[in-house]
Amino acid sequence: MKREHAFIESLRGLARHPGARGLADDTAVIEFGGEALVLTHDMLVEGIHVLPQQDPADIAWKLVATNLSDLAAKGAEPVGVLLGHMLGDGDERFAQGLEEILGRYDVPLLGGDTVSGGPPRAWGLTAIGRATHRPVPSRSNARPGDGVFVTGPIGAAMIGFEALQEGTGADSSAYRRPKPRLAEGRLLAPHVSAMMDISDGLLLDAWRMGQASGVTLALESCAVPIAAPGNRRSEALRWGDDYELLFTAPANTNTALPVDAARIGSVRSDASAPLMLDGQPMPAARDLGYQH
């Protein structure tokens, strides 16, 4: 059992508030004053989520983008963010990148905290959103007979990471500055049965959706659009950081979906394995994507 999974399991007994969704989702959803607030918190660690010596402006962008992507998967509209920043070299560049992405998505900075420390350095961000549709989508409501869809190609972040790491000068923007699918999430929220963003790899996140929903997501690898050479399809399906939206919806709504999306499989009632790939059950989450 991976360390992250074991630790989360130890916390489930503390997460008694219904808004915590049993720690089985990427966000908390709290009913408040006639609204539904959506809250999420993600961290980046130097040498794990970002490369050492990476441009701090890109780190700031990615920190905000990963949190906004969680809001996108709930169809939420951002209300603001709270920043946890570890001081160090490049703080001015970090602030510049923060200003760029907050301006790009019209998100206010509401506050936060700063500390000294590192290396390695770490950064945290809490994003607050307002749900635009009820019920707020979760990863746990995929239904047998639904189609499985993805909003865009997988693998661009993998290629971008390699370009940045190797210093080839090739385009690395998909890894450095991902684009949260906020507009797509808001449009999709009324149509989906389940939805989540792809942060740790398509296969691992599909496995998680199937497990949370008590169903099997049966995927066809050749149907998944990829932004990588064809001989690297298997790697692309397991690489994270793409931040496309993975969702399920009634199969007969394919032509009525409000955004472009590729159908990559179907939901089955047989829950013997949360995920099937090309007809083969994938009973364990290991080797399907990134885990701590």
Q: Which domains does the chain have, with CATH numbers?
A: 3-131 (3.30.1330.10), 146-281 (3.90.650.10)
Residue 271, CB half-sphere, CA atoms under 13 Å: how many?
12
| CA–CA gap between residue 250 and residue 248 (Å, rounded) | 7
Which pLDDT value is given to residue 145? 96
Q: How confident is residue 1, by pLDDT bands cut at 50, 70 and 90? A: very low
- How large is the average pLDDT for residues 78-88? 97
**pLDDT beyond 60 at 231:** yes
Query: Measured in Å, how far apart are the chain's first and last C-alpha atoms?
Result: 10
Compute the distance between CA of residue 98 and CA of residue 104 in angstroms, rounded to an integer: 10
Which pLDDT does position 253 carry in this prediction?
60
Q: What average pLDDT does range 126-136 have in this prediction?
A: 96
In what order do the strands lie in the sheet containing 280-281? Answer: 194-197, 245-250, 146-150, 262-268, 216-219, 275-277, 280-281
- Checking if the pLDDT of 108 tops 90, the result is yes
pLDDT band, residue 209 (cuts 50/70/90): very high
- What integer is the mean pLDDT of 130-144? 95
- The whole-angstrom separation of Cα 68 and Cα 191 is 20
Top mean-pLDDT range of 24-33, 238-247, 279-288: 238-247
Which pTM value belongs to this model?
0.93
3-state secondary structure of 77: strand
For the chain, the average pLDDT equals 93
